[in-house]
Structure 1
Amino acid sequence: MNSTCEDIKEFLWQNTSDLTSIPQTMGIFGVLYSIVISLGICGNTFVILSVLRHRSLQSVRNCFIVSLSCSDIVVCCVSGSITPITAFTKVWLFGPELCHLVPLIQGVSLCFSTLTLTEISIDRFILIVYPTKRPIQKQHALRMIVFNCAVAVSLSLPMVFKQKLVDYGNFCGQFCTEDWGSDQFGRSTYGTVLFFLQFVVPLSIIAFCYAMICIRLGKGMLLRRDSEGGSEHLSEQRRLALKRRLRTNRMLIAMVVAFVASWLPSVVFNFLRDYEWLPKVVQSQEYLYGVITHCISMTSTVWNPVLYAWLNEQFRLAFLDLFKVCGQARRSNGSAYRLRSESSRMNTRCARLTSGAFLDGASTDGQALMRTHGDSKTVEIKWEKNPGTQETVTSTLARNSLTVPDSCCVTARTSSL
């Protein structure tokens, strides 16, 4: 290395007043990244441990959520540390191998996350809009996760070959950068394809699925409101169901808003940079705006545990159980039991029954609602022939009279999706 080389940070500060070259900016973003990374790793780790610990949480949807949490942890460890360090030092400090691998890992994580979010919305869409259709099974979910990995690697693979470690003139150090040579058309085309496949297409599918879900839930609430006039007990049940569905609507809308708010700035910034369409004010502080948009996108690793897990009663109880295990191991079994009993008491479960023995002769070829009353000795089963209507048959039976055959004639799934 030339002993008279020039420090690129000094050069940028003198010529462009690059704000990422001063210690104050580094300190501010250092604190922000530390908070985001810590919350992202802790939140997603809690999600994974909760699902592994409690069988009641091991559903199809939570398979996707666990895979998404794993991807977010990788993003926190790799993109949340290496990217800001490189943005502030300007030189590459991690060797030629990581110069090729880090962009691949970042691209795979982003693409995998968007595909997984899309499949979660599709799973919810099938469950709520078409409840009589066969839902996605766990083995299908695992295949979809593997498919997501394959697609994400395929889309990100060009970065392995286009990312190079180079020297720039008389500047000190080496720089890891995209090198497309004179093929700027290829770079723009690749960036456009990624923009649509990683953002536009998934967002369109997510928006469509959640819009249809909101319409479906809205129709169900109108039907219930128009059919009011039953007993006071049933009116209270409907009021609670309405409140739960309104909360679900808010959560679904928050998911879309969080996804767009987190990734839109970074995706648009990279898209405009590929076409050299950045405004002059942004070009003059390209490093700064790059760090800002990247830091915003990193917050998606924090929002996901909040929106997909912490707003769910079962996950909240599972998190509390994990805290108790850390300090009071002897109470872990009791906490696990409370998780199951609270879930049964607070959530109306949607069950597909294959035996008519439990409904006093009512047909059992559709959906039913089953509610257990805490520690009482009875189980109330409400038959709902057409979800969203009031064509129901209610039966209250003694718990000890419910004998479930070995063939599992009752399969329950939580209705508060």
Structure 2
Amino acid sequence: MKSELGVVGNLLVVISVCQHRALHSVRNIFIVSLSCSDIVVSIVSGSVTSITAFTKIWLFGPQLCYLVPLIQGTSLCFSTLTLTAIAIDRFILIIYPTRRPIQRRHAFRMVAFNCTVALAISFPMFLKQKLVKWENFCGKFCTEDWGVDVHMRSVYGTLVLILQFAIPLVIITFCYSMISLQLSKVGVFFCCWVPSVAFNFLRDYGWLPEFVKKQEYFFGVITHCISMSSTVWNPCLYALMNEQFRVAFASLIHTLKGDEHAVHKRHCSRLLSNTILETSLRKSGTRLPTQTDIV
């Protein structure tokens, strides 16, 4: 159910931005890229990961054993880097309003950079994945195999902790604190990722409590599911709480229903344009005209 909500919510964001030219902003470039990444995570987690969690064996062949962890790792890392880019964009726009804001070409370059960095961070998982068969167990298992280089697993886990979680968390917290926005976005990021990051870090260094070691597979699945829940919260925090997106969502839903399509679409387009104009005027400090002013 969680993966379906993630796909639907993020798909609404992508379609809304594509349909409404008024939503073609720099910030929404980041939001669309975030939604695309979350869609990939939701699809993979809702199919391969959930089936593997219940069967406890790998049913998808050696090729996907290499590719699925790489796709998941890249998508999740890309999501955290994109959330960081959104925070930086808002910080520059609000703290330094007289400076030239991030341009679209810069935004696309940042998206490409984030994708490259995310792929580079996750690539060791591709190299170390292996389909193995253990004695006294039925079926095969897709797992990380570091061989005699167990120390490198700890080093890699620490680097992932720093690059994927610690640095983005510091930047996001700093940016949203400086612009005095609601810290719900920081809180959701923290709550979604701390369990998974802490579990992987303690496991890599052999510091897991004894009761967790006895049920390591179970706790691994639970912490993974918690981190995957970010794919549901992201469209709510970064799109649904935005008035412009709510208007676009309403237009899209009525379009899908097919009732009074033309009239409603024109009404929503006008409403969306007015909403963006009002938001821009408020940010610039311009007073909106009242009925008394018009008379």
TM-score range, shorter chain: over 0.9
Matches within 5 A, 1:75-114: 75-114=41-80
Counterpart Cα distance in 2 of 1:315 and 1:187: 42
Greater mean deviation of Cα atoms: 333-342 or 105-114:
333-342
Match of residue 57 from structure 1: 23
Letter in 1 for 2:29: C
Deviations 1:218-256 (A, max 9, x none): xxxxxxxxxxxxxxxxxxxxxxxxxxxxxxx32xx1100
Match of residue 220 from structure 2: 290
Counterpart Cα distance in 2 of 1:51 and 1:184: 46
Q: Structure 1 unaligned runs (5+)?
A: 1-34, 215-248, 352-366, 379-395, 397-417
Task: Check if 1:349 corresponds to 2:266.
Answer: no
Tell me how far 1:335 sits from its aligned partner: 2.2
Rg larger for:
1
Counterpart Cα distance in 1 of 2:255 and 2:124: 45
TM-score, structure 1 normalization: 0.67
Task: Check if 1:200 corresponds to 2:166.
Answer: yes
Query: How big is the alpha-carbon RMSD for the aligned residues of Structure 1 and Structure 2?
Result: 2.0
Match of residue 385 from structure 1: none
Counterpart Cα distance in 1 of 2:289 and 2:225: 46
- How has the CA–CA distance of structure 1 residues 370 and 97 changed in structure 2, closer, same or farther, with 3 Å as cutoff? farther
**Does the 8 Å CA contact 1:100/1:160 hold for their aligned counterparts?**
yes
Match of residue 369 from structure 1: 286
Counterpart Cα distance in 1 of 2:35 and 2:94: 24
Counterpart Cα distance in 2 of 1:317 and 1:270: 41
Deviations 1:346-383 (A, max 9, x none): x34268xxxxxxxxxxxxxxx66374669x996xxxxx
**Does the 8 Å CA contact 1:80/1:298 hold for their aligned counterparts?**
no
**Does the 8 Å CA contact 1:121/1:206 hold for their aligned counterparts?**
yes
Tell me how far 1:295 sits from its aligned partner: 1.4
Deviations 1:294-334 (A, max 9, x none): 11111101111111111111111111011111122233223
- How has the CA–CA distance of structure 1 residues 210 and 322 changed in structure 2, closer, same or farther, with 3 Å as cutoff? same
- List 4+ stretches of structure 1 deviating above 6 A: none
Task: Check if 1:335 corresponds to 2:287.
Answer: no
Matches within 5 A, 1:1-400: 35-214=1-180, 249-250=181-182, 253-327=183-257, 328=259, 329-331=261-263, 332-345=265-278, 347-349=279-281, 369=286, 371=288
Counterpart Cα distance in 1 of 2:267 and 2:71: 41
Counterpart Cα distance in 2 of 1:57 and 1:323: 17
3-state secondary structure, aligned to 1:349: helix
Q: Structure 2 unaligned runs (5+)?
A: none
**Does the 8 Å CA contact 1:118/1:206 hold for their aligned counterparts?**
yes
Counterpart Cα distance in 2 of 1:274 and 1:107: 17
Q: Which has the higher strand share?
A: 1
**Does the 8 Å CA contact 1:348/1:371 hold for their aligned counterparts?**
no
TM-score, structure 2 normalization: 0.93
- How has the CA–CA distance of structure 1 residues 370 and 147 changed in structure 2, closer, same or farther, with 3 Å as cutoff? farther
Counterpart Cα distance in 1 of 2:289 and 2:162: 47
Counterpart Cα distance in 2 of 1:348 and 1:333: 21
- How has the CA–CA distance of structure 1 residues 67 and 264 changed in structure 2, closer, same or farther, with 3 Å as cutoff? same
